[in-house]
Amino acid sequence: MKKYSQLLTIAILSAVLSVALISCDKSISEPQRVGYTPGSLDEKAGTWKTYVLTAPNDVTLAAPASTASATYQAELTDLKSKSASLSQEQQEAVVYWGAGAVYRWDEIARELAARYNTPSASNADGKYPVPDAANPLADPKFPFANPPYTARMLAYLSVAQYDALVATWNYKYTYKRPSPSKVDATVRVALPTSVLPSYPSEDAVIAAASYTVLKAMFPGEVPFLDAKLAEHQNSRIWAGMNVASDLVAGIDLGNQVAAKVMAKAKMDGMSAANNQTLTAGMVEAAKGRGLTEVWQSQEIPVRPPMLPNYGAVLNWNFDAATKVKLRPVPPPALDSPEFAKALDELKTINNNQTREQARIANYWADGAGSYTPPGHWMRTAANAANEANEARYSEVRMARTLALVATSLMDAGVCCWDTKMFYYYPRPQQFGMKTSVGLPNFPSYTSGHSTFSAAAAEVLSSIFPARTDEFWAQAQEASDSRVYGLIHYRFDCTAGLACGKNIGAYAVARSKADGSGL
């Protein structure tokens, strides 16, 4: 038996060693965001140009009670008791929301986009049921948060946040009610403070505006959004940052602005974006211009193209006539040497995709189950503003940044879809290519990734000029990724990049004339 026990010992020791080598700590670390004092309070932001509001006083807000009033003093007492000592959970909520209200709601929106970004399954009849907004949690869920849907969702979210904050800054500096800890130094605060007036609470404004937009965009997520809205407001009390009337006023103002923004959304043409009856005419028009083989869905069963009339949705930074002027020149004829050359490049990759090509294709894929390319660039924009160490962004400047990028991304989506459906150009898979990233179900020319990426890079380079090369390198790589993933010809991508840059320039021009001086 002694021999056996020796063997057992060896075996057990080996087991322990193997486990130790692997290391049992499997925790994953993500970048942590914490509260900060902005480089500037942007005191004059109440005069910045808005998107939907004609003026900040399109929305109204009554004057607050003075800090000397009994009403206010009662609120202050209540605030002190609720912020005096926090549970672990309350502290975590304070830190989470303290990283930035616009930042967090944009992050939530991207997460919702990822969760809703799956195409419907075909049914027994070989048809693809259309998501139903009135029954959002049925199969298929509403919405299908594909790139056009997500671009638009993020644009309305960012515009609502920005317009609401411009109105907020207007009223903050109209009423100039100091924050609670400036009124009473014994208020225990858990986040960095400033002399920014606190009525109405910018956090409550952002929460209400974001909540209203996201509830409309993701109607199946009301309980989830309710919980976020409540936690965000509570976190301001727990942090000692706002009294109750700051929050009530903020919710009221945020709701008013979001209602106006969503009224515009209802009229922008999105309700007709999935008008599939138009595709027959689009096909005929493309053939009439000489295209010998039009795009066809490669899915089995054949799936109708994604939102064929999204190209008719209203743009933010230019009008419909300009959109037509921005449309790229026609792609090469299918029997041209230029097409043959582009297909040859793909054939080479199809035969022997390098690991680096696969990496780039995967990194930028942003396909089903992701927050899409617009989400990817909004994340880049939000992080750039959050990490701008020399002058970290106030909420209103963060919102301005995201609104410029998001409106440009939606403009890019609309223009690109207009181009795609106008030319109705076939995908490389119609010429035998495989794909390592999944094949989008709409025409090839031009590349959506390229258009989105160049528009975003153009805007971001204007806002963060020191990072221009970095943003353009990313846009170029995102564009290349679609060639490496074999779903776009090179000319789809170069045309998309050029068009996206032109689209971004309109948002840049706006940013130079919005009164911010930035």
Partner 1 sequence: MKLSAKFLIISIFIIPMVAQAQMPHDAIYMGKNQVCVAGLYGQSSWNQYWENTLKRENFNIGTFTMQSVTIMPAIGISKRVNVILSLPYVWTSTSAGNLMGQHGIQDLSAWLKVKAVQTGGFSLHTIVGASIPVGNYVPSFLPMSIGFQSRTATGRLLANYREPKTGIYVTAHGSYSWRGNSTIDQDAYQANDQVYNTNQVQLTNTYDAAVRLGILRKDWQTEVWAERNACINGDNIRRNDMPFMTNNMQATAVGWYGKVQPRNIGLNARVGYVIDGQNVGQSTSYMLGLLYQINFRK
- The window from 227-235, 259-267, 359-367, 445-453 that contacts partner 1 (CB under 8 A) reads 359-367
Nearer to partner 1 among residue 91 and residue 120 (C-beta): 120
Site string for partner 1, 2-41 (x = CB under 8 A): --x--xx-xxx-xx--xx-xxxx-xxxxxx----------
Taking CB under 8 A as the criterion, the residue among 192, 194, 195, 438 binding partner 1 is 438
Nearer to partner 1 among residue 287 and residue 359 (C-beta): 359
Size of the site for partner 1 (CB under 8 A): 60
- The window from 114-122, 184-192, 288-296, 465-473 that contacts partner 1 (CB under 8 A) reads 114-122
Residue 494 as a binder of partner 1 (CB under 8 A): the answer is: no
- The window from 211-219, 355-363, 390-398, 444-452 that contacts partner 1 (CB under 8 A) reads 355-363
Q: Using CA atoms, how far apart are residues 223 and 43, in angstroms rounded to an integer?
A: 36
Q: What is the DSSP track for 103-169?
A: HHHHHHHHHHHHHT--PPPP-TTS--PPP-TTSTTSSSPS----HHHHHHHHHHHHHHHHHHHHHHH
Nearer to partner 1 among residue 148 and residue 254 (C-beta): 148
Taking CB under 8 A as the criterion, the residue among 47, 279, 322, 353 binding partner 1 is 353
Query: CA angle at residue 341 from 335 to 346, to 5 degrees?
Result: 110
Q: Using CA atoms, how far apart are residues 41 and 143, in angstroms rounded to an integer?
A: 37
Burial class (CB in 10 A: 0-12, 13-18, 19+), 430: middle
Q: Using CA atoms, how far apart are residues 231 and 252, in angstroms rounded to an integer?
A: 17
Residue 120 as a binder of partner 1 (CB under 8 A): the answer is: yes
State which of positions 247-276 bind partner 1 (CB under 8 A).
none
Taking CB under 8 A as the criterion, the residue among 263, 287, 369, 512 binding partner 1 is 369
Residue 80, amino acid: K
Taking CB under 8 A as the criterion, the residue among 350, 468, 476, 516 binding partner 1 is 350
Nearer to partner 1 among residue 264 and residue 303 (C-beta): 303
Residue 351 as a binder of partner 1 (CB under 8 A): the answer is: no
Provide, rounded to whole angstroms, the least separation between the CB of residue 209 and partner 1.
Answer: 22
Site string for partner 1, 64-103 (x = CB under 8 A): ----------------------------------------
Taking CB under 8 A as the criterion, the residue among 280, 355, 389, 513 binding partner 1 is 355
DSSP 325: H
Residue 387 as a binder of partner 1 (CB under 8 A): the answer is: no
Q: Using CA atoms, how far apart are residues 67 and 272, in angstroms rounded to an integer?
A: 51
Taking CB under 8 A as the criterion, the residue among 40, 118, 255, 322 binding partner 1 is 118
Residue 443 as a binder of partner 1 (CB under 8 A): the answer is: no
Maximum Cα–Cα distance for the chain, whole Å? 91
Taking CB under 8 A as the criterion, the residue among 44, 49, 80, 379 binding partner 1 is 379
Q: Using CA atoms, how far apart are residues 446 and 421, in angstroms rounded to an integer?
A: 10
- The window from 37-45, 166-174, 367-375, 470-478 that contacts partner 1 (CB under 8 A) reads 367-375
Taking CB under 8 A as the criterion, the residue among 35, 119, 136, 330 binding partner 1 is 119
Residue 137 as a binder of partner 1 (CB under 8 A): the answer is: no
Helix axes 222-238, 101-115, angle to 10 degrees: 160
Burial class (CB in 10 A: 0-12, 13-18, 19+), 331: buried
Nearer to partner 1 among residue 282 and residue 456 (C-beta): 456
- Please enumerate in sequence order all residues whose Cβ is within 8 A of that of 407, keeping only pairs 6 or more positions apart, or say none: 51, 155, 158, 159, 316, 317, 507
Which residue bears the tokens 């939102």?
307
Provide, rounded to whole angstroms, the least separation between the CB of residue 389 and partner 1.
Answer: 19
Query: CA angle at residue 492 from 488 to 494, to 5 degrees?
Result: 120
Element (H, E) at 338: helix 337-351
Residue 359 as a binder of partner 1 (CB under 8 A): the answer is: yes
Taking CB under 8 A as the criterion, the residue among 44, 80, 115, 327 binding partner 1 is 115
- The window from 194-202, 288-296, 369-377, 454-462 that contacts partner 1 (CB under 8 A) reads 369-377
Residue 141 as a binder of partner 1 (CB under 8 A): the answer is: yes
Taking CB under 8 A as the criterion, the residue among 44, 182, 264, 434 binding partner 1 is 434
Q: How many CB atoms lie within 10 A of CB 452?
A: 32
List b or e across 179-218, with b for residues whose CB sees 16 or more CB atoms inside 10 angstroms: bbbbbeeebebbbebeebbbbbbbbbbbbbbbbbbbbbbb
Q: Using CA atoms, how far apart are residues 177 and 59, in angstroms rounded to an integer?
A: 19
Three-state secondary structure call for residue 222:
helix
Nearer to partner 1 among residue 10 and residue 340 (C-beta): 10
For residues 191 and 94, the answer to whether their CB atoms sit within 8 Å is yes
For binding to partner 1 (CB under 8 A), which residues are involved?
4, 7-8, 10-12, 14-15, 18-19, 21-24, 26-31, 107, 110-111, 114-115, 118-122, 139-141, 298-301, 350, 353, 355, 358-359, 362-363, 365, 367-371, 376, 379, 429, 433-436, 438-439, 486
